[in-house]
């Protein structure tokens, strides 16, 4: 059994990806090769070995082992048109390295105003000190990105949908404009997990995943990955290696285990997420539901055109009330944990405020915003829990 076969359907590729016989042996999954030192039979063997930089050959622990190679290969298969994947110990380290691999001091980076806030902080702190200027753009800019490209623009960072606010970007239009001007495109594709949206196929040069979320899927591993076209592969690989980036084989094993069930999990996240989003949108306490599959979400038509599904993460805006009223909704929930991550099997609720992270656009709402990660619990139970939460919110909002 080997991965291969990008002509196969995505669900099949999730099952076969990375399962080369030379990596798995006689069992289904590649074993956990826990090693720093790789041994050679003799000095002659050492000299004949891959002292230069080769993929998929034993060399030294930092270059990985079959467990990590299998995961990297399976992730590459999620992005048709991708040449290879580098693995990172978190989504943020993947974003940082991908940007570092393509930018040079003096460059301008265009970044969507809806970016994940640590991506923004990295640009403002690290990249700025390193001589890169970041300019933010309206996530809904589409082909209008052309007007923002100048001689110094090296790269465009996209995230679709946007963190917290869920605007869908016209990625193909942005990529077409970028390509015409020789600008490199990067996409944080974590929400779609490279499964409901295949970025490289749609024109993106480099796609990034926080594997911590849906790829791992069980809230027990931090992971990042970067997949890119052949043109950028050596640059990405060299930068990651120079920075000493490596993930443990145990984490790679858990990520592979999660990846095998991504299709069924994503379908359930989608179904429950949509049911709950639609239910919330009918409630008088809710001003707005920010979910790409709902018709009033900015960029919904683009989502319909480009995506094959929707994930279980979305936000809603309460119709008035203050942070304490929102907290009374969240605090009494029995099935929703309060925590920063998402993409796991368990539901989460988080108060969020998109406003401070906006500079190119303004974020104004009728009330507090809550982000939900819809997990794999029974949807009726989640709705019953949220219904009680809305009652608590209403009482708290009336008292003030």
Ligand X SMILES: Cc1ncc(COP(=O)(O)O)c(C=O)c1O
Query: Of the two residues 270 and 328, which places its CB atom closer to ligand X in the complex?
Result: 270
**Token representation of residue 330:** 């969240």
Establish whether 62 is a catalytic residue: yes
**What CA–CA distance (Å, rounded) separates 206 from 7?**
21
Active-site residue identified among 19, 20, 63, 116: 116
Active-site residue identified among 107, 138, 188, 251: 188
Query: Of the two residues 73 and 159, which places its CB atom closer to ligand X in the complex?
Result: 159
**What CA–CA distance (Å, rounded) separates 271 from 135?**
37
Query: Of the two residues 88 and 232, which places its CB atom closer to ligand X in the complex?
Result: 88
Confirm or reject binding of residue 90 to ligand X (CB under 6 A): yes
Query: Of the two residues 66 and 344, which places its CB atom closer to ligand X in the complex?
Result: 344
Q: How far is CA 200 from CA 7, 54, 98, 162, 228, in A?
A: 15, 24, 15, 18, 8
How many C-beta neighbours within 10 Å does residue 34 have? 12
Is residue 254 within 8 Å of residue 216, measured between CB atoms? yes
Phi-psi label, residue 175: left if phi above 0, alpha if psi -120 to 50, beta otherwise: alpha
Of 281, 263, 288, the closest CA to residue 383 belongs to: 281
Tokens 């982000």 sit on residue = 371
Q: How far is the CB of 14 from ligand X (least distance, A)?
A: 20
Q: How far is the CB of 131 from ligand X (least distance, A)?
A: 24
Confirm or reject binding of residue 212 to ligand X (CB under 6 A): yes
**What CA–CA distance (Å, rounded) separates 120 from 373?**
22
Query: Of the two residues 29 and 90, which places its CB atom closer to ligand X in the complex?
Result: 90
Query: Which 231-290 positions form the footprint of ligand X (CB under 6 A)?
Result: none
Q: Does a cis peptide bond (omega within 30 degrees of 0) precede residue 161?
A: yes
Query: Of the two residues 190 and 194, which places its CB atom closer to ligand X in the complex?
Result: 190
Q: How far is the CB of 232 from ligand X (least distance, A)?
A: 19
Return the range that interacts with ligand X (CB under 6 A); candidates 29-37, 89-97, 315-323, 364-372.
89-97
Residue-wise DSSP of 53-99: --TTS-S-GGG--HHHHHHHHHHHHHSTT--EEEEESSHHHHHHHHH
Show the site string, 158-197: x = touches ligand X by CB under 6 A, - = not.
-----x------------------------x-x-------
Confirm or reject binding of residue 312 to ligand X (CB under 6 A): no
For ligand X, which residue of 224, 249, 273, 389 counts as binding (CB under 6 A)? Answer: 224
Query: Which 120-139 positions form the footprint of ligand X (CB under 6 A)?
Result: none
For ligand X, which residue of 72, 87, 210, 247 counts as binding (CB under 6 A)? Answer: 210
Query: Of the two residues 92 and 145, which places its CB atom closer to ligand X in the complex?
Result: 92
**What CA–CA distance (Å, rounded) separates 159 from 292?**
13
Q: How far is the CB of 129 from ligand X (least distance, A)?
A: 21
Establish whether 296 is a catalytic residue: no
How many C-beta neighbours within 10 Å does residue 179 have? 13
**What CA–CA distance (Å, rounded) separates 350 from 341?**
9
Confirm or reject binding of residue 113 to ligand X (CB under 6 A): no
For ligand X, which residue of 75, 86, 92, 183 counts as binding (CB under 6 A)? Answer: 92
For ligand X, which residue of 10, 30, 66, 91 counts as binding (CB under 6 A)? Answer: 91
Establish whether 120 is a catalytic residue: no
Q: How far is the CB of 166 from ligand X (least distance, A)?
A: 11
Establish whether 116 is a catalytic residue: yes
How many C-beta neighbours within 10 Å does residue 106 have? 11
Return the range that interacts with ligand X (CB under 6 A); candidates 46-54, 88-96, 170-178, 231-239.
88-96
As a dihedral over the C-alpha atoms of residue 123, residue 125, residue 127, residue 130, rounded to 10 degrees, the angle is: 170
Residues in Cβ contact with 148 at an 8 Å cutoff, skipping those fewer than 6 apart: 110, 135, 137, 141
What residue spans of the chain are helical by DSSP H?
A: 10-16, 21-24, 43-48, 66-78, 91-102, 117-122, 128-129, 171-180, 230-242, 249-259, 262-281, 300-306, 323-331, 379-399
Active-site residue identified among 62, 104, 152, 278: 62
Query: Of the two residues 115 and 270, which places its CB atom closer to ligand X in the complex?
Result: 115
Return the range that interacts with ligand X (CB under 6 A); candidates 90-98, 129-137, 176-184, 372-380.
90-98
Which residues are catalytic, by number?
Answer: 62, 116, 188, 213
| Residues at the site binding ligand X, with contacts judged by CB under 6 A | 90-92, 116, 163, 188, 190, 210, 212, 222, 224, 341
């Amino acid at each position: 059994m080997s991965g291969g076969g990008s002509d196969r359907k995505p669900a099949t590729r999730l099952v076969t990806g990375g399962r080369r016989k030379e990596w798995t042996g006689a069992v289904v999954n590649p074993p956990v090769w826990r090693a720093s030192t790789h041994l050679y039979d003799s000095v002659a063997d050492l000299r004949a070995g891959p002292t230069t930089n080769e993929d998929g050959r034993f060399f030294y622990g930092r270059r990985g082992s079959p467990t990590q190679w299998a995961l990297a290969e399976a992730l590459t298969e999620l992005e048709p048109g991708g040449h290879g994947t580098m693995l990172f110990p978190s989504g943020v380290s993947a974003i940082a390295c991908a940007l570092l691999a393509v930018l040079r001091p003096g460059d301008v980076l265009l970044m969507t105003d809806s970016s994940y806030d640590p991506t923004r902080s990295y640009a403002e702190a690290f990249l700025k000190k390193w001589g890169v200027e970041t300019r933010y753009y309206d996530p809904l800019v589409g082909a209008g990105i052309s007007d923002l490209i100048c001689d110094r623009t090296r790269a465009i960072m996209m995230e679709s949908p946007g963190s917290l606010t869920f605007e869908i970007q016209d990625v193909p239009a942005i990529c077409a404009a970028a390509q015409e001007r020789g600008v490199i495109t990067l996409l944080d594709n974590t929400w779609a997990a490279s499964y409901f949206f295949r970025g490289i196929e749609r024109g993106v040069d480099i796609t990034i995943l926080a594997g911590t979320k849906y790829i791992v899927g069980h809230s027990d591993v931090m992971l990042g990955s970067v997949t890119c076209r052949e043109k950028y592969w050596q640059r990405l690989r060299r930068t990651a290696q120079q920075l000493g980036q490596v993930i443990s084989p145990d984490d790679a094993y858990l990520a592979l285990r999660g990846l095998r069930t991504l299709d069924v999990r994503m379908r359930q996240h989608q179904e429950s997420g949509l049911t709950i989003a639609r239910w919330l949108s009918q409630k008088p306490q809710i001003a707005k539901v920010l979910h790409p599959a709902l018709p009033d979400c900015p960029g919904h038509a683009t989502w319909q055109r480009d995506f094959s599904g929707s994930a279980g993460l979305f936000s809603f805006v309460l119709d008035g009330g203050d942070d304490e009223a929102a907290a009374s909704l969240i605090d009494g929930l029995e099935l929703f944990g309060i925590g920063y991550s998402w993409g796991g099997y368990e539901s989460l609720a988080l108060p969020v405020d998109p406003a401070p992270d906006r500079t190119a656009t303004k974020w104004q709402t009728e009330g507090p915003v809550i982000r939900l990660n819809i997990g794999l619990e029974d949807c009726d139970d989640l709705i019953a829990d949220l219904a009680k939460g809305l009652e608590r919110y209403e009482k708290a909002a009336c008292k003030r």
